[in-house]
C-alpha cells in the first residue's frame, strides 16, 4: 500500500527510486564484495541507501510508523547520542587499553555512531519500500540472498576440496575459515553474520510463499558452520510448522521426521566434527587453574570476554563507555586467568576486542537506558509480527533473538531492514482493519 506525497517530483522519481530500492535490497549480502572505494570501502547497498536517504530528505518524504515505535526509536537515538558525547570527553581513573585502530579511538567511535544512523535510515526506508510493494522488493531480497548462498556453497565446497577459489573484488584476503582451510563466511566478514542473514532471508522467502527458495536458504546455513545459526534453522522450522506438527493427521509424519532427525543426530554426535565444533564449544570445562585444553579455548574466550563486557557496563551503568569503546576497558575488567598460556592469549595484544553478544554490547557501550529501550524495541517487533498470517516473520524474529547471543554488532543494515517487514505488515493489516 502506498502513501504518495504531494510533491510531484516524488512521483517523477519513481523509476529512479525503484532502481535504488532494488539495488539496495539485492546487494545487501555483499558486504565484503563489490565495494565502492572512497578512501574506505563503501558497500553497494550502503551507496544506494545513502542516495535514497538524500531523496527522502530533499523531497520531504515522510515514513509512516506506529506511534510506539516512533517513541522507542527517538529515545534510543537520544540515549545513544548522549552516551557518545559524554564519552568523548569523559576521563576514567585508570589507563585505557591501547590497540590498533582504523580511524583512531575517537574516529572509530564516531564511525560506529554514523553506522548506527545509517542502520536507522535503513529501517525507515525499508518500511516505506515494503509499504509500497512488499512482494516485489522481498522477492528481489530473496534473489540477492540466493545469489550469495550459491557463492557461499562454491567457496565452502571448493575450499574443502582444496581447489582454487575466486574471491570477489573487495573481499578480505584471506577470508574467515574453519580448520584453516574451509571458507565459512560467504559474502560477509564472518560466518555468524552470514548464517543469520540466510535464516532471515529464508523467513522472507516463506513470507511470500517461495517455499523451495526458503528451504534452500535454510540448508545453505550449513556453509557457515555457525552453531547458533544452525540451531536457529531447527527453531524456525518448529515455530513455522507448529500449527501442522501437532495436528493429529500430520502427527505421524512429524514423529517420523523426528525419528530420522534423532538417528542422524546420534551418528553425527559421534563424529570428530561434532566433538570439536559443538560439544567442546558448548560443554568444555572453563577451569583455568590448570592447563587449558585446546578444545576449551574458544568457550573460555567468549565467556571471559562476556564477563569483562558485563562488568564494564555494570560499572558504567548510565551512559556506558561509548560506541566502539569496550576494547579500551577490556583488560581492566577481565577476570583473572591463572593458566599462563591462556592468560597471554586473553590479553589479545594490539587487537580490538568486541563483546560478540548484541545484548551486552548495547548494555556496555550505551548504558542501561539504551539497553532497555533496545530490548523493548525487539519485543515490540514480536508484537507487530503477530499479524503476519504466514508465521514466518515471528519465527525469523525468534531466530534473530537467539543468534544475538553470539553476534558481533547491532548496527548491521540487514538486521534493521528485516525488522522493517513486520512493522510494514502490521501497518498494512491495521489499515485494512480500520481503513478510515
Note whether 335 and 287 are within 8 A (CB): no
User: Strands 182-183, 177-178: parallel, antiparallel or unpaired by DSSP?
Assistant: antiparallel
Instruction: Tell me the domain boundaries of the chain.
Output: 8-91+111-261+373-433
Sign of CA dihedral 232, 43, 107, 95: positive
Per-residue pLDDT of the chain (436 residues; tens, 9 = 90+): 444 545 787 788 889 999 999 999 999 999 887 766 665 567 889 999 999 999 998 888 888 899 899 999 999 999 999 999 999 998 999 889 999 888 889 999 999 999 999 999 999 999 999 999 999 999 999 999 999 999 999 999 999 999 999 988 878 888 888 877 889 999 998 999 999 999 999 999 999 999 999 999 999 999 998 889 999 998 998 888 876 666 666 566 666 666 776 676 666 566 666 666 666 666 555 555 555 555 566 777 788 889 999 999 999 999 999 999 999 999 898 887 776 777 777 788 888 989 999 999 999 999 999 999 999 999 999 999 999 988 999 999 999 999 999 999 999 999 999 999 999 999 998 877 554 3
In Å, how far are 19, 72, 111, 167 from 369, measured between CA atoms?
Answer: 39, 11, 22, 42
Bridge partners of 363?
none
Q: Residue 431: its pLDDT value, please? A: 79
User: Residue 436 has what pLDDT?
Assistant: 39
- pLDDT at site 213: 94
What is the reported pLDDT for 292?
A: 53
* Neighbouring C-beta atoms of residue 219, cutoff 10 Å: 14
Nearest Cα neighbor of 233 from 264, 258, 202 is 202
pLDDT for position 264: 62
Whole-model pTM over 0.75? yes
pLDDT for res 53: 92
Amino acid at each position: 500500500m502506498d502513501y504518495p506525497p504531494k510533491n510531484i517530483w516524488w512521483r517523477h522519481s519513481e523509476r529512479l527510486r525503484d532502481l535504488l530500492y532494488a539495488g539496495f535490497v539485492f546487494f545487501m549480502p555483499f558486504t565484503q564484495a563489490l565495494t565502492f572505494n572512497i578512501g574506505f570501502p563503501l558497500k553497494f547497498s550502503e551507496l544506494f541507501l545513502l542516495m535514497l536517504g538524500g531523496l527522502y530528505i530533499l523531497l520531504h518524504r515522510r515514513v509512516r510508523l506506529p506511534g510506539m515505535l516512533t517513541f522507542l526509536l527517538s529515545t534510543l537515538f537520544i540515549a545513544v547520542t548522549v552516551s557518545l558525547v559524554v564519552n568523548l570527553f569523559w576521563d576514567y581513573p585508570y589507563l585505557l587499553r591501547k590497540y590498533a585502530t582504523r580511524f583512531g579511538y575517537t574516529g572509530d567511535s564516531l564511525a560506529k555512531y554514523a553506522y548506527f544512523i545509517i542502520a536507522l535510515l535503513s529501517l525507515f526506508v525499508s518500511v516505506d519500500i515494503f509499504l509500497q510493494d512488499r512482494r516485489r522488493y522481498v522477492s528481489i531480497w530473496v534473489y540477492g540472498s540466493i545469489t550469495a548462498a550459491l557463492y557461499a556453497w562454491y567457496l565452502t565446497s571448493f575450499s574443502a576440496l582444496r581447489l582454487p577459489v575466486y574471491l570477489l573484488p573487495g573481499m578480505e584476503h584471506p577470508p574467515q575459515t574453519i580448520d584453516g582451510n574451509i571458507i565459512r563466511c560467504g559474502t560477509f566478514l564472518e560466518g555468524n553474520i552470514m548464517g543469520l542473514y540466510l535464516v532471515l532471508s529464508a523467513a522472507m522467502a516463506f513470507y511470500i510463499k517461495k517455499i523451495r527458495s526458503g528451504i534452500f536458504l535454510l540448508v545453505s546455513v550449513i556453509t557457515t558452520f555457525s552453531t547458533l545459526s544452525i540451531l536457529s534453522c531447527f527453531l524456525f522450522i518448529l515455530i513455522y510448522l507448529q500449527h501442522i506438527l501437532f495436528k493429529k493427521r500430520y502427527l505421524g509424519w512429524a514423529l517420523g521426521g523426528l525419528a530420522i532427525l534423532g538417528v542422524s543426530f546420534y551418528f553425527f554426535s559421534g563424529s570428530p566434527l561434532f566433538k570439536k565444533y559443538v560439544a567442546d564449544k558448548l560443554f568444555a570445562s572453563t577451569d583455568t587453574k590448570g592447563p587449558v585444553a585446546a578444545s576449551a579455548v574458544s568457550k573460555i574466550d567468549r565467556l571471559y570476554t562476556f564477563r569483562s563486557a558485563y562488568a564494564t557496563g555494570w560499572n558504567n551503568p548510565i551512559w556506558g563507555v561509548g560506541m566502539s569503546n569496550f576494547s579500551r576497558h577490556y583488560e581492566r575488567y577481565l577476570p583473572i586467568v591463572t593458566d599462563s598460556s591462556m592468560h597471554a592469549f586473553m590479553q589479545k595484544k594490539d587487537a580490538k576486542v568486541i563483546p560478540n553478544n548484541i545484548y551486552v554490547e548495547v548494555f556496555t557501550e550505551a548504558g542501561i537506558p539504551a539497553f532497555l529501550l533496545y530490548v523493548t524495541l525487539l519485543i515490540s517487533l514480536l508484537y507487530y509480527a503477530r499479524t503476519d498470517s504466514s508465521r514466518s516473520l515471528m519465527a525469523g524474529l525468534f531466530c534473530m533473538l537467539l543468534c544475538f547471543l553470539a553476534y558481533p554488532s547491532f548496527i548491521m543494515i540487514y538486521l534493521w531492514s528485516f525488522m522493517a517487514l513486520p512493522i510494514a505488515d502490521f501497518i498494512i493489516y491495521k489499515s485494512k482493519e480500520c481503513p478510515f
